[in-house]
Amino acid sequence: MTANNTHNEHFERHRAAVLIPTYNNATTLEEVVKGALSYTSHVIVVNDGATDHTSTILGKYPAVHKVSYSPNRGKGIALRRGFEYALTQGYDYVITMDADGQHFASDLPGMLEKINTHPDTLVIGARNLNQENMPGKNSFANKFSNFWFYVETGLKGPDTQSGYRLYPLRRMGRTRWWCTKYEFEIEVLVRSAWKGVKIDWTPVKVYYPPAEERISHFRPFQDFSRISVLNTVLVLITFLYIKPRDFLLWMLKKENWKKMWKEEILNAEESNARKAAAIGFGVFMGIVPIWGFQLLVAFLVSVKLKLNKALVFLAAHVSTPPLTPFVIFFSFLAGKVWMGRSAKDLLFDKHFSIAAVGDNLLQYVFGAITLAIAAGLAAWAISYALLAIFRKNK
């Protein structure tokens, strides 16, 4: 089959190829390959250890780049092998299509056009999730995935599970990926966003055959469990490393201070009481003794209460170095009020024991909660007073 010259030239100008991972999709693979070849001669098929007549089908198309191995390793490995091969062949972009016939080759020009308008962007083909034959579990899984993607990256999008994607390989770099199966498509989105790769969406068509004709290698229990474990890891990394890192980098830019002061502090659309509440709540969450989860809880609660997330996040860093020792010391000191005669002046005295550790920990926890409440209320009152004076003058 001869590719459309105009579209093929666009693929060559952008150094782009179509990448099709496949495993036992012999009934649909040929039509998918023919569809891709009608737009470009730059097609890569990764045979992920297929045991049907996939090899015979691919043998009909000598112009197609083929990557084959055995046994089956999973979609994540197939995509990773495809990325590596594409880079060695000099491609800067790949557009991935599933081999089950769900994607339409007619959407390839629209995906490719995104390189002109949004270069170095990872583009996801957003499906119509309300169309006929769309499995109900797919809609739920997509909403579930969209939510956690937002938590992990702060980005909102209509579809984070579509396999129809434009990957900017050079911009993504040679990352050492973790995942090997379906969950890889979540990992690659989140970790690319962490690296500063822009994420965008464009509408695409999708075909879902009736249930009796549908072929899927997705294993609900095993794969959903793997996805859940991955999201747990990604959320922990987000709030223990990514958020603090991004905050520090943000704080180092002078223009961001000016922007926050103008848009968040001086913004007349938000009342003084709401701003002060965000600051006070942030200080409370920064001190309350749930180390490792303070920013996560602060973020989720601020979203629920519709507080100013920027101010909450900024104020919650009250306990970060170099202030951490002071917060711990004053928390321990405040805990003496609750411990009575068993209160300690130091974290541990010379009679070290498990009981002593328990007593000190309890004193710290009680004191940290007390200090968090007191400091939060004080931060609210002081912030409210200063905002009332300054914003009135403005």
Q: Give yes or no: residues 32 and 150 share one domain.
A: yes
Give the model's pLDDT for residue 373.
95
Measured CA to CA, the distance from residue 332 to residue 320 in angstroms comes to 17
**What is the share, in percent, of the chain residues with pLDDT greater than 70?**
86
| 232 within some domain | yes
Q: Give yes or no: residues 274 and 224 share one domain.
A: no
**Boundary (domain end) residue, out of 210, 245, 280:** 245
Tokens standing for residue 214: 């549908």
Give the model's pLDDT for residue 362.
84
Looking at the structure of the chain, the number of domains it has is 2
Give the model's pLDDT for residue 63.
92
Give the model's pLDDT for residue 380.
95
**Boundary (domain end) residue, out of 179, 212, 245:** 245
**Which of 98, 117, 129 is CA-nearest to residue 35?**
98
**Boundary (domain end) residue, out of 218, 245, 272:** 245
Q: Give yes or no: residues 187 and 270 share one domain.
A: no
The pLDDT confidence band at residue 220, using thresholds 50, 70 and 90, is low
The continuous run of DSSP H or E covering 363 comes out as helix 354-393
Quote the domain boundaries for residue 282. Answer: 261-390
Give the model's pLDDT for residue 294.
83
- Residue pointed to by tokens 């007191």: 374
Give the model's pLDDT for residue 20.
97
Tokens standing for residue 353: 């024991």
- DSSP 8-state secondary structure symbol assigned to residue 4: P
- DSSP 8-state secondary structure symbol assigned to residue 89: T
Q: Could you tell me how many residues make up the chain?
A: 394
Q: Give yes or no: residues 193 and 146 share one domain.
A: yes
Mean pLDDT over residues 61-74, rounded?
A: 94
Q: Give yes or no: residues 86 and 118 share one domain.
A: yes
| 275 within some domain | yes
Would you say residue 217 has pLDDT above 80? no
The conformational region for residue 132 under phi > 0 = left, psi -120 to 50 = alpha, else beta, is beta
The answer to whether the CB of 86 falls within 8 A of the CB of 25 is: no
Q: Give yes or no: residues 236 and 266 share one domain.
A: no
* Nearest-5° Cα angle at 126, 110 to 10: 20
3-class DSSP state for residue 217?
Answer: coil
Q: Give yes or no: residues 187 and 80 share one domain.
A: yes
Cα distances from 102 to residues 205, 207, 216, 307, in angstroms, run 8, 5, 11, 42
Q: Give yes or no: residues 291 and 370 share one domain.
A: yes
Would you say residue 218 has pLDDT above 60? no
**What is the share, in percent, of the chain residues with pLDDT greater than 90?**
52
Mean pLDDT over residues 351-359, rounded?
A: 58
| 255 within some domain | no
Cα distances from 384 to residues 282, 303, 339, 390, 394, in angstroms, run 14, 21, 33, 10, 15
Give the model's pLDDT for residue 223.
65
Give the model's pLDDT for residue 351.
54
Q: What is the pTM of this model?
A: 0.70
| 252 within some domain | no
Would you say residue 250 has pLDDT above 80? no
Measured CA to CA, the distance from residue 94 to residue 20 in angstroms comes to 10
The answer to whether the CB of 50 falls within 8 A of the CB of 23 is: yes
Mean pLDDT value across the chain: 86
Q: Give yes or no: residues 156 and 287 share one domain.
A: no
| 50 within some domain | yes
Question: Could you tell me the CATH number of the domain that includes residue 215?
Answer: 3.90.550.10
Would you say residue 55 has pLDDT above 90? yes
| 171 within some domain | yes
Between 38-47, 68-77, 268-277, 366-375, the lowest mean confidence (pLDDT) is in 268-277
Give the model's pLDDT for residue 95.
98
Helix axes 294-305, 243-251, angle to 10 degrees: 80
Q: Give yes or no: residues 210 and 356 share one domain.
A: no
| 274 within some domain | yes
Q: Give yes or no: residues 104 and 39 share one domain.
A: yes
Q: Give yes or no: residues 234 and 298 share one domain.
A: no
| 177 within some domain | yes
Phi/psi of residue 206, nearest 5 degrees: -150, 140
The answer to whether the CB of 339 falls within 8 A of the CB of 375 is: no
